[in-house]
Structure 1
């Protein structure tokens, strides 16, 4: 009788040990601390994604109505070939203008702009939810 209890106890302990090892393996897989990972997974863990950003600089800060000027800048974290668009603040909200340009391989862009709304124009460059700081161009 003692040997049956002893073997039953050994079987239960062995089953609990196997279950805890299985749970420990699941926990390490869930936290990403497994000892063997694929090279692409370790590279992705080491290099965090660059935060998207846009700079913008007008070639002129004062222009005549419908005079051509350029807005140039650099982007970070935005794919080459993506479009950046000019927005103008009108009556308190941002309105996209029909002026856009592709982002080059080095992250730069150059955009030709003509404005007709006289006075101080608050402008910015956007791509999705990423926006440049606001800059002003006065139209006479």
Structure 2
């Protein structure tokens, strides 16, 4: 609840009490609905980016990112696109207390590999790493 809204409520309650109105009339009023910004901020989201856009086969690189509205300790998994399906790779890591993650990855399939990170009901935007 923002400060202006709190002050307006406090002013109405004070005016009602000074004017002799029953305080119970204000308690029966329904709570205001959450703003669209607050609802949108609560939706889980992930961002991810590779440390390198091009690597040699089996060369290690990192995928790092941030989590929004996910609890620390939530596991995120790297997925690779195979045709129209997304397949989980053996690269998993937990989101830390700063809502960040970093995982080490090695790919052996030469060519463009489309990857994404998923976990906690959120999916990152796909990104590409080329293996030479």
Larger radius of gyration: 1
Unaligned runs of 5+ in 1: 1-33, 37-41
Offset at residue 91 of structure 1 (A):
2.1
Where 1:57 maps in the other structure, the secondary structure is strand
After superposition, what is the alpha-carbon deviation per residue over 1:56-103, rounded to whole angstroms, capped at 9, x for unaligned? 010000001110000000000111001100000012210000101110
TM-score by length of 2: 0.70
2:66 is equivalent to residue 66 of structure 1 = no
Where 1:55 maps in the other structure, the secondary structure is strand
Counterpart selection for 2:124 from 120, 126, 132: 132
Unaligned runs of 5+ in 2: 1-25
After superposition, what is the alpha-carbon deviation per residue over 1:24-56, rounded to whole angstroms, capped at 9, x for unaligned? xxxxxxxxxx826xxxxx7xx686561111000
TM-score by length of 1: 0.66
Two-structure CA RMSD over aligned residues (Å): 2.2
In 2, Cα distance between equivalents of 1:87 and 1:130: 13
Where 1:56 maps in the other structure, the secondary structure is strand
- 8 Å contact from structure 2 (residues 44, 121) kept in 1: no
Please identify which structure carries the higher helix content. Answer: 1
- 8 Å contact from structure 2 (residues 58, 107) kept in 1: yes
Q: Which residue of 1 aligns with 2:107?
A: 115
